């Protein structure tokens, strides 16, 4: 289930906001310019399906989204626990970074956490199959798919060179492990 948990960047143990309601998630994330939507799609795919099959199945949705965003390309990224570089890829994604364009992802299978560091808060968006998230350009964030990463996601790019990260060097992600597990206590 999708989940948003928000913390003060000084305290990773007490949530300020914790919700699994998609409307509430979208409303809260809008506060920091993040787009969040649930796509109710009739498309049924299997994890083993090829990138070409996935792109073709979602083409009507992608064409609309890419038109809205002025995007130039889309691709598919998959990460599974048995991927030979799963650990190294996870570590790369865990470092706080920014991009010069919006980071747009739609989860076809699996799950992962987009964690944004904005205005003294850490916004942990646990995204699952059917979730679309768009993190605005220059937003400090990191991504964690957990110790046994499993996800397939559509990526949409305005810059045809694709995903380019600019690492901040901040180690905040080490203090805020992904919250893909049970939600923690919220502040009263």
Domain ranges of the chain: 3-175
Q: Would you say residue 72 has pLDDT above 90? A: no
The answer to whether 159 and 101 are in contact (CB under 8 A) is: yes
Percent of the chain with pLDDT over 70: 91
The single-letter DSSP state of residue 2 is -
The answer to whether 37 and 65 are in contact (CB under 8 A) is: no
> Hey, which of 21-35, 59-73, 139-153 has the most confident mean pLDDT?
21-35
CATH 2.60.120.10 is the classification of domain 3-175: yes
Q: Would you say residue 45 has pLDDT above 60? A: yes
* Tally of CA atoms within 13 A in the half-sphere of 152 that contains its CB: 15
Distance CA 161, CA 122 (A): 29
Q: pLDDT band at 158, cuts 50/70/90?
A: confident
Distance CA 4, CA 21 (A): 9
The two structure tokens encoding residue 30: 């809008």
Q: What is the mean pLDDT of residues 29-39?
A: 97
Distance CA 146, CA 67 (A): 32
The answer to whether 127 and 37 are in contact (CB under 8 A) is: no
Residue 170 CB: number of other CB atoms within 10 A?
14
pLDDT for 118 equals 98
């Amino acid at each position: 289930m999708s989940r948003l948990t928000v913390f003060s960047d000084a305290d990773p143990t007490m949530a300020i906001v914790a919700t699994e309601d998609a409307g509430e998630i979208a409303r809260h994330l809008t506060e920091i310019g993040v787009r969040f939507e649930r796509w109710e799609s009739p498309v049924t795919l299997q994890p083993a399906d090829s990138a070409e099959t996935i792109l073709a199945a979602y083409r009507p949705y992608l064409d609309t989204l890419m038109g809205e965003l002025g995007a130039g390309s889309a691709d598919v990224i998959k990460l599974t626990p048995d991927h030979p570089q799963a650990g190294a890829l996870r570590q790369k994604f865990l470092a706080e970074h920014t991009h010069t364009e919006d980071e747009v992802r739609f989860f076809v299978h699996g799950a992962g956490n987009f964690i944004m560091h904005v205005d003294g808060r850490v916004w942990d968006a646990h995204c699952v199959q059917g979730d679309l998230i768009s993190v605005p350009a220059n937003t400090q964030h990191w991504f964690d798919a957990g110790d046994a990463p499993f996800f397939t996601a559509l990526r949409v790019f305005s810059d045809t060179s694709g995903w380019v990260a600019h690492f901040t060097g901040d180690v905040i992600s080490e203090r805020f492990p992904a919250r893909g597990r049970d939600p923690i206590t919220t502040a009263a």
